[in-house]
Amino acid sequence: IAHQIHPPHTLPQQNSGNSIGKSNGAEDPVACLLLKSPSARFLFIYLHSNAEDLGRCYQFLQVLRGQFQVHVLAVEYPGYGVCPGHACEESVVANAIAAMEFAINGLHWPLDEIIVIGRSIGSGPATVLAAKYEVCGLVLVCPFFSVREVVKDYLGSAGEVFRERFPNYENIQKVRSQLLLVHGQADTVVPYMHGKRLFDLCPARKQLIVPVLMKHNSSLSSDASYFALPMLHFFGLPDYKFEDIVVPEWVFHRYRPEPPEESPHRGCACIIRNEGNTPLVCQVQGPASRTTSSPMSPKSGTVRGGAPDAAEDLQQRREQVLHVQMAVRELFEKAKAKASLRKQVIGGLNEDSDDSEDLPEIPDDLGFF
């Protein structure tokens, strides 16, 4: 479930960083995942590792939101998952900066309530953000000193021929935000001395966590001492405020290319919910002949057909959502029938027991509107 973040055509592109979008003016959207938490004070901006995309890290992001009671904005890299483009140092950093600008100018979230988290390759753009913006905190998990230094660990002096990428050792010296660095001593991909050297260079308030058994790809949820407890103690989480996060309308109505006719995703609904299971938005893609919500194509800049009447457009959306609701209810019914049958086959139903136990409940309101 991803937002495509870039400014509407009515917003001017400015080099001062006040606009929301890539600083290089590129038109490719930045795919992000936003998870809201009621009354949360902090917003986590998460930059994932090389072996992940937004889909693979989705469950971990839910754990972050629930465990620390925070909003989570995860950024996708070009060429990963649903994000178009080609991944390189410049394009990855551009996406990270676009997401930060969106958090500041689109969500209007204060810098002193933003914590940037970067894991593995994500430590590169995360350190760039913390060097550029004075956020509340920076969290690095299994970071590298630089890409060249990692190559030298494997190839020795032959690694010197490789061009330097993500020089974290330079950017960490510009960081004035408090730093929590977690690096397992059992890491054989990026040795923990990379993290120790970065930690020594950071001039800000900092804490180093080096679990003995933690590896490069160890689950951060497998042991509370790896990540959860240090985060709670170092940043004083959770914390709350009485202002909720508000996503601007243009995020949901930005022009998006229609999927091909044979795509199984045509006419599907996209639901984004907060921790209280309250729906945030439902985005429904209509038939191919329907005009998109934005009459301007960002690729060509040409004006397309006029937008349909607002009432008619809303009615079409309601009909499409009703169709999806019926399909979801049918799936719930089938799941409930299958669970009931399985229970009877295994050992029969006990008349004194609660027959509804372990059976899925059909929600009264699926929350599409």
pLDDT per residue over 305-351, tens digit each? 444 456 666 666 667 667 666 766 676 677 777 767 666 666 554 54
Q: Who's near 63: CB < 8 A, 6+ residues apart?
A: 221
Alpha-carbon distance of 198 to 84, in angstroms, equals 32
* 94-106 pLDDT, tens digit each: 999 999 999 999 9
Q: Does residue 297 or residue 361 have the better pLDDT? A: 361
Backbone phi, psi, residue 32, to 5°: -135, 160
Average pLDDT over residues 23-32: 65
Q: Is 271 helix (H, G, I), strand (E, B) or coil?
A: strand
Residue 5 has pLDDT above 70, yes or no: no
Residue 189 has pLDDT above 60, yes or no: yes
- Which range, 19-23, 85-89, 141-145, has the best average confidence (pLDDT)? 141-145
- pLDDT value at position 83? 86
- pLDDT value at position 161? 86
pTM of the model: 0.65
Alpha-carbon distance of 78 to 76, in angstroms, equals 7
- pLDDT value at position 27? 58
Residue 46 has pLDDT above 90, yes or no: yes
Pairing of strands 43-47, 71-75: parallel
* 233-266 pLDDT, tens digit each: 999 999 999 888 888 888 776 545 444 444 443 3
- pLDDT value at position 311? 64
Average pLDDT over residues 281-300: 35
Residue 17 has pLDDT above 50, yes or no: no
- pLDDT value at position 251? 78
Backbone phi, psi, residue 162, to 5°: -80, 140
Residue 224 has pLDDT above 50, yes or no: yes
Q: Give Rg (Cα) of the chain.
A: 23
